[in-house]
Structure 1
Amino acid sequence: MPEFGTGSVARPGRRLAALAIDWASAVLISIAFFSYDSLATLAIFAVVQIVFLPTLGGSPGHRLLGLRLEMVGGGWVGLWRPIVRTALLVLVIPAVIWDPDQRGLHDKAVGTVLRRR
C-alpha cells in the first residue's frame, strides 16, 4: 500500500473524524426517538456500522471522509467481520491501540484495513 494519498491506510485524524460523524448521527437519532438514551445511542451506532460496512464498504462517516473498509488483501469484508469489528469498536480499547501500520486492533483482529479513496 502507498504510504500517503489514495489507497493508503487511513490516518488517525480521518478515522476519528469519521467516528465523530457516526457517533453524532447516532446521538441525533437517539434524541429524536429515545429521548437520548445512552444504550439506544450505542445500539444505533453499532447497527449503522454493521449494516453499512458490508453494503457500502464503510459507515456514513467513512464515506463522507473518503475512506473504505477492505480486506488486507483486497475484496469484500463479508458479513461476520463487520459484526466482530463493531463489537470490538464499542469496547473502545481495541480501537485506540494501533500497530505501526496505523491499523487499530479491531481491524487487525478481523483482517481489515481502512483505506483512503
Structure 2
Amino acid sequence: MSSTAVGPPSTASFGRRAAAFLVDGVLCAMVAGLFTYPAPPGGWSTAVFLVAYTAFIGLFGESPGMRLLKIHCQGIADGRPIGLGRALLRTVLIILLIPALLITSDGRRWHDKVTGSLVVPNNRG
C-alpha cells in the first residue's frame, strides 16, 4: 500500500522570504549601481528589481535570493512557474510592500493570493 500526501504544500516561513527579498534587493542595487556609478543607484534599483524579479519568478519560479534560501514560487493550481504576466503583477505588489505583509486566511501573502501563487520550501535538492 502506498501513501500519498494530501492537502496543500506548506508555505515558506516569513523569515526565509524576507531574507531572500533582502538578498535580491542588494543584488539589484549592486547591478543598478554598475550603471549609475559614481552616483548611487536610487530609483534604478527598483527598475532593475522589477525586471529581474519578474523574469526569474515568471520563468524559473525562483530568484537568486530564493534559490540561496531554498524556497521557490509556484502556481497553486499546477506547481509550475507562474509565467511573466502573473510574475509582473506579483512583483509590482511586492514593490508596493503592503500586499506582501498582509496574510490571507489560508496563510499565504496577499500578493500570492491575487496571482494564484504560493512560496514553498524547495524540496528539489
Q: TM-score, normalised by structure 1?
A: 0.87
- 1:95 aligned to 2:104? no
- 1:80 aligned to 2:82? no
Deviations 1:13-51 (A, max 9, x none): 000000000001011112222132321000011111111
Structure with greater Cα Rg: 2
Residue 109 of structure 2 corresponds to which residue in structure 1? Answer: 104
Q: Distance in 2 between matches of 1:82 and 1:24?
A: 20
Q: Distance in 2 between matches of 1:42 and 1:14?
A: 21
Q: Which consecutive residues of structure 2, in runs of 5 or more, have no partner in the other structure?
A: none
Q: Distance in 1 between matches of 2:43 and 2:115?
A: 25
- Residue 55 of structure 2 contacts residue 84 of structure 2 at CA under 8 Å; is this kept in 1? no
- 1:74 Cα offset (Å): 2.6
Q: Distance in 1 between matches of 2:60 and 2:68?
A: 12
Residue 32 of structure 1 corresponds to which residue in structure 2? Answer: 34
RMSD over aligned CA atoms reads 1.9
Equivalent pairs, count: 114
Structure with the larger RCO, 1 or 2 (CA within 8 Å, 6+ apart): 1
Q: TM-score, normalised by structure 2?
A: 0.82
- 1:100 Cα offset (Å): 4.2
Residue 118 of structure 2 corresponds to which residue in structure 1? Answer: 113
Question: Which 10-residue stretch deviates more, 19-28 or 101-110?
Answer: 101-110
Q: Which consecutive residues of structure 1, in runs of 5 or more, have no partner in the other structure?
A: none
